[in-house]
Amino acid sequence: MTAASLIIDRVTRSFTTGRVTARVLGGVSLAIAPGEMTLIVGPSGSGKSTLLAVASGLLRPDGGSVRALDADLWSLPAEAIDRFRLEHCGFVFQGFNLFPALTAVDQVVLPLQYTGLVGAAAYARAMEALVAVGLADKAHLHPLALSGGEKQRVAVARAIAKGPQLLFADEPTSALDKENGAKVARLLHTIARRDGATVLCVSHDPRLIDHADRVVRIEDGVLTADERNPSAVPAPPLAMAPPRPEISP
Amino acid sequence: MSRLGNSVSPSRAVPTIAVGSSDSGVGARPPAGAGRVSLARQTLVYEWRRYLAAVLAVAFSGLLVLVQVALLLGMFRTVTTVVESAGADLWMVEPTVSSFDLARELAPRVENRVRAHPAVIRTERLNLGFADWRGPDGSRVAVTLIALDVGPGSLGFPRSLPSALREALQQPGAVLVDRADVAKLGVASRSEGVEIDGRRVRVAGTVGGFRAIGGANVFVSEATYREIRGAAASRDAPHYVLAALAPGVDPAIVAADLQSVGAEMFRAMTPDALATMSQTYWLLESGTGAGFLFSTVLGLLVGVAITSQTLRAAVLASLREYATLRALGVPLRALRAVVLEQAAWIGAVGFVVTAIATALVIGAAMVAEVAVALTWWAVLATAIFSMLVSVISGLVALAPLLRTEPAELLR
Ligand SMILES: Nc1ncnc2c1ncn2[C@@H]1O[C@H](COP(=O)(O)OP(=O)(O)OP(=O)(O)O)[C@@H](O)[C@H]1O
Ligand SMILES: [Mg+2]
């Protein structure tokens, strides 16, 4: 095994609504390796999204720690955590969360600009990402003119354009039909396999299991199973992307 | 193992693409000249309908302010139209006078003092007098007599009027009134049978642009003035002494010279200085300033209420998209800047609409002979006001953005 790139260590988190305090994460520990797609499954309300948010620097845990790419994430000041996510993290969510006013390529360029990449360079990078998700010919379209599956692929392009080492996806396929869901799942898997990214995906969608290298089960905020998936569907090459020399078979 | 080790690429490109090997898929090029994607501007353009209400709110509150200013300035300017349309380079003003219409008599020897200055080539006197007008139909109006030199080359006679009117005033008992006042003065159809302070006069013509706030302005010659005033005018003390200077002489320098010899008797002022002093006096003294301030604050509140609601609705509609940007590491201040940039554009566009609407309103007012006036500083102040409305609105609209944590929206 490779050294884990994301180490979640005894993380706890509770939510208080009114006078009721509910413990959502009850001391979760998990080490996640790069180059593969790890899927966290569990029933609704089991704490999957909460765990993903804690692991990705979006939600501060009550206890425990998260070690991401050798940084003790939650010991950093808030701006540094923002900076960390800007430099290393990509996100895909169930809702596609695209700005209605921007074309597909502009959706991808926008966050790139904040990394300091602007103008033609940002544009070229965004186009590469759109090519990778197979949407080069739709680059100029607004979300209104895209199907649900295409919107999610734009969202994936937005997440991967900066070449993140950590890619987080929360129910990325739940709003999609079977075929589009499979397409997005294959994309995420490919990014892990070919780019060596750490892909952490949470979902209750069983169709995703086929694409994951490792499946972790969470129930009521504690891990109950952790299995490798030897029958994972092999990751196909990215659309229109010539294989990188060092990883060609 | 080696596969993973190799593929963790330190360069943060999308590593799977060999750029340049084939550009068939990367056919699209950035639009010419488009350096940056501007979320603020592209959203404003794409969803302009959403922002229209905000633009109109800013525009109307700006219009409210600017039209009020124009009316106030127009009103106060009527006090000084005589000063601003006269041809004099300098006006000698009694030192305690605070506004042109509140004239006081100068010492009789002021005119000789002024004329003695080598740069002064001509002097004249000008008197203001309150009088009782009685129209042919018996109507009575309190009028202000403006008594001036009506000889050739007159400094006091308005440059905007034809010299035929000046010559008409040379007839004994001839007066000029403003076109806008003829009905009030009862001389719409007849010009004979008018009395001022019991003396018979005749309306020899009408002028435009000298409408007074109350009462009416009546131009007369010095001789007619003395005739009307009788003994009261015989003391030979003018209210103002007007001076023309040799060409190329700086009025400020001559004013300083004159001041040094007659400071206790008069102030030497340029027409601009006298006009500004008079208008400022009325702005501050009349109490209209407070009323204006009140309605301006009202306009500000209404503008902010509508504009902030519009912007807030837009922010709320995009909250998940903003949250996604936050997740991707875009700092909060960058998103704040997007909303404030939108607000600033709304302010700018709103002000342009204000400017156009104001031009139309003022044009209509001028056609209707309503006294309106605008100055560059009033326009600038309104532009700042519009920006204030929109930026305050933007700050108000930021609240939902600042309040929500991305994790809450992205579950
Ligand atoms: N901000 C919050 N305030 C209060 N309770 C919360 C908050 N966020 C999450 N919870 C609670 O924590 C529990 C776990 O939520 P979470 O979103 O992690 O579940 P999940 O496993 O992702 O469920 P699903 O599959 O439905 O998305 C839920 O019972 C939820 O009500
Ligand atoms: Mg969830």
Q: Looking at residue B268, what is its pLDDT?
A: 94
How is residue B97 written in tokens? 């006078």
Mutation site, A82, A94, A200, A214, interface B, largest B CB count within 10 A:
A82
Rounded CA-CA distance A215/A200 in Å is: 10
Contacts of B335 in chain A (CB under 8 A): none
With cut-offs at 50, 70 and 90, classify the pLDDT of residue B1: very low
Contacts of B342 in chain A (CB under 8 A): none
Beta bridge pairs of residue B131: B143
With cut-offs at 50, 70 and 90, classify the pLDDT of residue A42: very high
pLDDT digits (tens, 9 = 90+) for B253-306: 999 999 888 778 899 999 999 998 998 888 888 777 778 888 888 888 888 999
Does pLDDT of A231 surpass 70?
yes
With cut-offs at 50, 70 and 90, classify the pLDDT of residue A206: confident
Closest residue by CA, ligand 1 atom 7? A15
Cα A234 → chain centroid: 19
Greatest mean pLDDT among A175-179, A241-245, B91-95, B214-218: B91-95
Does pLDDT of B20 surpass 50?
no
Among the listed residues B145, B167, B277, the one whose alpha carbon sits nearest the alpha carbon of residue B216:
B145
Does pLDDT of A244 surpass 50?
no
Rounded CA-CA distance A47/A27 in Å is: 12
Residue boundaries of the structural domains of chain B: 39-76+288-402, 90-269
> Where is average pLDDT lowest: A67-76, A239-248, B374-383?
A239-248
Taking CB atoms and a 6 Å cutoff, what residues make up the pocket around ligand 1? A 15, 17, 24, 42, 44-50, 204; B 408, 411
Rounded CA-CA distance B252/B245 in Å is: 11
Rounded CA-CA distance B53/A184 in Å is: 40
pTM summary value:
0.77
CB atoms under 10 Å from CB of B86, counted, come to: 21
Residue whose entry in the numeric block shows the structure tokens 């990014």:
A191
Rounded CA-CA distance B233/B212 in Å is: 23
Question: What number is the average pLDDT over the span A32-57?
Answer: 94
How is residue B294 written in tokens? 């009140």
With cut-offs at 50, 70 and 90, classify the pLDDT of residue B312: very high
Closest residue by CA, ligand 1 atom 5? A15
Q: Looking at residue B19, what is its pLDDT?
A: 33
With cut-offs at 50, 70 and 90, classify the pLDDT of residue A76: very high
How is residue A233 written in tokens? 């569907």
Contacts of B227 (CB under 8 A, 6+ apart): B172, B173, B199
Exposed/middle/buried for residue B149 (C-beta within 10 Å: 0-12, 13-18, 19+)? buried
Q: What domains can you pick out in chain A, each with its CATH number?
A: 33-60+79-228 (3.40.50.300)
Contacts of B402 in chain A (CB under 8 A): none
Asked if A58's CB is within 8 angstroms of B320's CB, the reply is: no
Among the listed residues B377, B376, B394, the one whose alpha carbon sits nearest the alpha carbon of residue B311:
B394
CA of A203 to the centre of ligand 1 (A): 13
Mean pLDDT of chain B: 86
Q: Looking at residue B174, what is its pLDDT?
A: 94
Amino acid present at A105: V
Q: Walk across the sheet containing A37-41 and list its strands.
A: A89-93, A166-170, A198-202, A37-41, A214-219, A222-228
With cut-offs at 50, 70 and 90, classify the pLDDT of residue A2: low
- What radius of gyration, in Å, describes the C-alpha atoms of chain B? 33
Rounded CA-CA distance B92/B255 in Å is: 9
With cut-offs at 50, 70 and 90, classify the pLDDT of residue B211: confident
Contacts of A143 (CB under 8 A, 6+ apart): A96, A98, A99, A100, A102, A104, A107, A151, A154
Q: Looking at residue B69, what is its pLDDT?
A: 84
In the 8-state DSSP scheme, what is residue B24?
S
Rounded CA-CA distance B211/B53 in Å is: 39
With cut-offs at 50, 70 and 90, classify the pLDDT of residue A1: low
With cut-offs at 50, 70 and 90, classify the pLDDT of residue B9: very low
Q: Looking at residue B235, what is its pLDDT?
A: 62
Q: Looking at residue B31, what is its pLDDT?
A: 53
Does pLDDT of B17 surpass 90?
no
Q: Walk across the sheet containing A6-17 and list its strands.
A: A20-32, A6-17, A63-68, A71-72
pLDDT digits (tens, 9 = 90+) for A89-118: 999 999 999 999 999 999 999 999 999 998
Q: Report the gap between the CA of B295 and the closest CA in chain A (Å).
A: 37
Residue whose entry in the numeric block shows the structure tokens 């009323």:
B291
Contacts of B8 in chain A (CB under 8 A): 34-35, 165, 196
Q: What ipTM score was computed for the predicted complex, to two decimals?
A: 0.91
Does pLDDT of A59 surpass 90?
yes
Does pLDDT of A247 surpass 60?
no
Q: Looking at residue B2, what is its pLDDT?
A: 40
Long-range CB pairs of A57-62, under 8 A, 24+ apart, other chains included? A57/A81, A57/A84, A57/A85, A57/A89, A58/A85, A58/B327, A58/B405, A58/B406, A58/B407, A58/B410, A59/A13, A59/B405, A59/B407, A61/A11, A61/A12, A61/A13, A61/A25, A62/A12, A62/A13, A62/A14
Asked if A244's CB is within 8 angstroms of B7's CB, the reply is: yes
Exposed/middle/buried for residue A101 (C-beta within 10 Å: 0-12, 13-18, 19+)? buried
With cut-offs at 50, 70 and 90, classify the pLDDT of residue B30: low
Instruction: Give the chain B residue nearest A134 (alpha carbons).
Output: B25
The values of phi and psi at residue B327, to 5°, are -60, -40
Question: What number is the average pLDDT over the span A197-209?
Answer: 91
Does pLDDT of B227 surpass 80?
yes
Judge contact between A122 and A109, C-beta under 8 A.
yes
Q: Looking at residue B295, what is its pLDDT?
A: 85
pLDDT digits (tens, 9 = 90+) for B47-66: 999 999 999 999 999 998 88
Mean pLDDT of chain A: 90
Ligand 1 atom, smallest distance to A204 CA: 25
Rounded CA-CA distance B45/B390 in Å is: 17
Contacts of A226 (CB under 8 A, 6+ apart): A30, A214, A215, A216, A217
- Which mutation among A19, A23, A48 tests ligand 1's pocket best, with the greatest number of atoms within 8 A of CB? A48
